[in-house]
Structure 1
Amino acid sequence: MAPSQTKDSARAGTPGSGKTFFGHPRGLATLFMTEMWERFSFYGMKALLPLYLIAGGPAAGKGAQEGGLAMTAATATAIYSIYLAMVYLLAMPGGWFGDRVWGPRKTVVISASIVVLGHLTLAIPGEGAFFGGLALVAIGSGLLKANVSTMVGHLYDGPEDPRRDGGFTVFYIGINVGAFGAPLIIGTVGEKVNWHFGFALAALGMALGLAQFLLGTRHLDARSSEVPKPLSEQERSSVIRKTLITVALTAVFYAVVVATDLYTLNWALVPITLAGLLIPIGVLARIKRDKDLSGEEQSKMNGYIWFFVAAAIFWMIYDQGGSTLSIFAESKTNTVILGFDFPVSWFQSVNPVMIMALAPLVAWLWLYLARKAKEPSTVVKFSAGLGLVGLSFVLFLLPLAASSDGTKVSPMWLVGIYLIQTVGELCLSPVGLSVTTKMAPAKYASQMMGVWFLAVTAGDCATGLLSIAGVDLNKSGVVALEAGLALLAAFAVYMYRKQVRAHMGEVH
């Protein structure tokens, strides 16, 4: 019989031992709903973002709603890419705050409140309010990201608890339910009614998530309120001093730039983009230079760098599904089916629904091949993911060519591209998360998941840098180069698979 929400817990003494959530601790329901609503607000705003940035400008389609910031496609893509990069970059300090300052539970409450405030700020018309709101949402999402996952782990009796993997699977479903519903609801309101009403609806979603989190905290493990490694007074003073100095120097620098009438948007975008590229390199270099690492750990880090670079290239192309492809859909894709003109933002629901449909099939395939001793190695799966994302942009060349004379192409072209990218994601992303935990040096075990997120940061910042340089990512030549880069990287990873596996030691 399938477990129900009212079934007695199989293991007394665990959080929520009286009743369970589909056989799991009741606290999982609280965290499931928190993540679902946070993803609802995040993906809803994400679906609107590039469309709002180009609305009223030359990159918007004819008849599209105005009232946006009328930016070029390149500027909109740069802002979108940098925003995503910062969310993933801030996941590392988010984990640090949970570990050293507030504890996971308090960090989630504070970060969710910042997200609500950010969306409400976005709901205020005007460019100044927009950038302030975007910064707040990025900060809040980054702080929240790592800590919710940490609390899911707290619900179980360590890594060996047989319910643990299933619990994270249920939690993952919550992410995709929120991601699927958000463009359909927030996207429709934002595109068809008013952009700022859409942003306000995203604020409502996160507020609902925060409210139910506060109501359900009694079902969470007590460890979620603890600060595992609190800062000493000396460390706290040092952090505060360095933060104040950095903020003061930044404020003085930009005050001078503004006072001398030199300021343009690139004065903000370029430093952030470069930081998003240099910080991941610096973090990896710092770990590699650590003399405390054993020879085996150093070897594993050499192998991990291959995965990191491959993932960065993957995310550089994959995350353009919400920018380059969305802007293409706005002006060059037919969105009328059976007389119904659907919002462009609905395309952003394709990926999450495909993940929910295909993830069980891919998981079954790996198990089936494993039983026959034919399951591909981690390196081969990575190569396949890279190759598929490259092929998705090879496919993108066809609708680009077909629309060059002004013809609007079928939406099925984009659905096909998203399908190939989703299969690529399922080959690469779960495997990347797993290999990160397995290859992490013992000293950096708790930090390596943040390092994995830095691959997303690096990939998105590469896209941002191209856009800032004025590169039109919707041009056939650029798309072909990106596709070629991914396919070349996939080929290189496959050809050097034996060398990479040698670095991995016992991890396969």
Structure 2
Amino acid sequence: MPTVPVSAASVAAPPASPAPSGRTFFGHPRGLATLFMTEMWERFSFYGMRALLVLYLVAPVAKGGLGFSAGTGLAVYSVYNALVYLLALPGGWVSDRFWGARKTVLIGGVVIMCGHFLLAVPAEGSFFAGLGLIALGSGLLKANISTMVGHLYPDRNDPRRDGGFTLFYMGINLGAFFAPLAIGTVGQNVNWHLGFAMAGAGMAVGLLQYVLGSRHLSPESDTVGSPLPRSERAGLLRKCALWTGLAVVFYAVVVGTGSYSVGWLIWPLTVVGIVIPVLVLVRMRRDRELDRADRDKLTGYLWFFAAAAIFWMIYDQSGSTLNVFATDSTANTLFGFNFPSSWFQSLNPIYIMALAPVVAWLWIRLARHDRNPGTATKFAIGLVLIGASFGVMMLAIAAASGGAEVSPLWLAVVYLVQTVGELCLSPVGLSVTTKLAPAKYTSQMMGIWFLAVTVGDSVAAVLQQLLGDSFLGTASFAIQGAAALLAGFAVLMYRRTIKGLLGDVR
């Protein structure tokens, strides 16, 4: 998911002092160049490492990998991805209560860089510690950097605002496009850990230019929106220390008794990735301070949340299940040119850059003729397309039966169908999330949207652990594809009911 959404906080940011004037960045505030480059290099490190992650996990020890089974490797990948989006929720809270957006992004970037360099150390313990740091740092950075883009435009009606976010998203997808080409090549053809080190170096470059260009950012990015009183900080630190201590003691006992396996990490984190989003949604829905209209809107939003979770459950397997298929069953040769299997990870961002303007133009053109599909219909289209992509994968698996290697065009088509589905669902989901947010939860709703990714990836992790290597079989693709198709038809069938719950939101 290369696109990073505009946070609710950025949409609703109050007027502030304008950023320093002077030279501009394509007619935009100079600070946009700083944030553009920071996010580009962060995405370079994130997607470069992600292109290698599952391949390294399942590669035989003799070839420098960790030698995990396919099911375990896929589950580790899914849990890691789920944590990245789960931690975006507290990442926004830390900015609001402690550090402010600018400092939080800086600290998040440093934590990410350290995590990547830990991956470069050839030891399983440091590897998983590095993954944890990258997830933590990504949560801090992801939750706040889009907000800082919004801070550059104090006037919410500034006509440059949408264009600024468009340029920002271009940086995201540029980083995501080049990362597998560079890091994937080095990691697969030279050394896994050198590839991970390249990801750390990319983040270091992003941090350097962030520090050098920070003077161009808006003063509002230094503001701590709702500082946590000192009287409450001590209690919070005690709770954190207590839970951390309990976790350390628990895992010390597990290791000390010789019972430890990677499952002791995967299963608890998977459960957390499902339980926490459910608890957050239930608490919000039962809030008695909300009026009937807001509760109805949240009920309608549950449809979109569930649909998005199913969508991301399949979509996020692009870097895991499809990556393994690309390595094991795809002829990585086209027109006589050989390339590493990780290069397939560059297809999605280039498709996005090519097709996003086309899809945006299509919605506008349909709206002019009063034929623009509603939010529920667009979600249904996205679900049907993501389900259909796994239908194509079933055909590819059939073509690869008996150990044959299929044409890379199979995966090119799968990624194309998934990208069109993403463009139908993801931007619409971001928009409806901000529009449905009750006033009390305006700043939290974008974090709720991220939680749909967490749930989807956590459910995938459960299936991957239960099914093991058979998760890569035809039956698994058929079940998941059918689930997405049924969900799409359900949303389409009940679209009028959903529309009624949304009230005045369209």
| Alignment match, 1:17 | 21
Structural mapping, 1:352-431, within 5 Å: 352-431=349-428
Check whether the contact 2:95–2:104 (CA below 8 A) recurs between aligned residues: yes
Pick the aligned partner of 1:31 from 14, 35, 41: 35
| Length, aligned pairs only | 490
User: Structure 2: any 5+ residue segments left out of the alignment?
Assistant: 1-15
| Alignment match, 2:45 | 41
Pick the aligned partner of 2:204 from 204, 207, 223: 207
| Alignment match, 1:331 | 328
Within 2, Cα distance between the matches of 1:473 and 1:33?
38
Within 1, Cα distance between the matches of 2:387 and 2:20?
45
Within 2, Cα distance between the matches of 1:37 and 1:260?
42
Pick the aligned partner of 2:57 from 49, 53, 60: 53
Within 1, Cα distance between the matches of 2:63 and 2:323?
16
Structural mapping, 1:182-261, within 5 Å: 182-261=179-258
| Alignment match, 2:452 | 455
The one-letter code of the counterpart of 1:480 is: A
Check whether the contact 2:17–2:218 (CA below 8 A) recurs between aligned residues: no
Check whether the contact 2:334–2:408 (CA below 8 A) recurs between aligned residues: no
Q: Which moves more between the two structures, 257-266 or 185-194?
A: 257-266
Within 2, Cα distance between the matches of 1:354 and 1:235?
48
| Alignment match, 1:8 | none
Identity, % of aligned pairs?
A: 59
Q: CA deviation at 1:13?
A: 7.1
Q: CA deviation at 1:424?
A: 0.2
Within 2, Cα distance between the matches of 1:503 and 1:292?
18
Within 1, Cα distance between the matches of 2:87 and 2:246?
21
Check whether the contact 2:382–2:422 (CA below 8 A) recurs between aligned residues: yes
Check whether the contact 1:389–1:420 (CA below 8 A) recurs between aligned residues: yes
Within 2, Cα distance between the matches of 1:35 and 1:377?
32
Q: CA deviation at 1:271?
A: 0.5
The one-letter code of the counterpart of 1:317 is: I
| Alignment match, 1:62 | none
2:403 partner SS: coil
Q: Which moves more between the two structures, 177-186 or 17-26?
A: 17-26
Within 2, Cα distance between the matches of 1:295 and 1:165?
33
Check whether the contact 1:55–1:69 (CA below 8 A) recurs between aligned residues: yes
* CA distance 1:16–1:491, change in 2 (3 Å): same
Within 2, Cα distance between the matches of 1:439 and 1:23?
32
Structural mapping, 1:456-475, within 5 Å: 456-471=453-468, 472-475=470-473
Pick the aligned partner of 1:495 from 486, 493, 499: 493
Q: CA deviation at 1:260?
A: 2.4
Check whether the contact 1:14–1:156 (CA below 8 A) recurs between aligned residues: yes
The one-letter code of the counterpart of 1:482 is: Q
Check whether the contact 2:35–2:149 (CA below 8 A) recurs between aligned residues: yes
Structure-1-length-normalised TM-score: 0.95
Within 2, Cα distance between the matches of 1:257 and 1:47?
31
| RMSD (Å), alpha carbons | 1.2
| Alignment match, 2:7 | none
1:342-374 CA distances to partner (integer Å, 9 max, x unpaired)? 001000000000000000000000000011110
Pick the aligned partner of 1:289 from 286, 289, 293: 286
User: Structure 1: any 5+ residue segments left out of the alignment?
Assistant: 1-11, 58-64
2:221 partner SS: helix
| Alignment match, 1:7 | none
1:214-260 CA distances to partner (integer Å, 9 max, x unpaired)? 00111001011111111001221121011011111111222222222
The one-letter code of the counterpart of 1:34 is: T
Pick the aligned partner of 1:164 from 150, 161, 166: 161
Check whether the contact 2:17–2:219 (CA below 8 A) recurs between aligned residues: no
Check whether the contact 1:14–1:25 (CA below 8 A) recurs between aligned residues: no
The one-letter code of the counterpart of 2:449 is: W
Check whether the contact 1:388–1:421 (CA below 8 A) recurs between aligned residues: yes
Q: CA deviation at 1:52?
A: 0.7
Q: Which runs of 4+ in 1 moved over 3 A?
A: none
Q: CA deviation at 1:324?
A: 0.5
The one-letter code of the counterpart of 2:495 is: R
The one-letter code of the counterpart of 1:468 is: Q
1:406-454 CA distances to partner (integer Å, 9 max, x unpaired)? 1100000000000000000000000000000000111000000000000
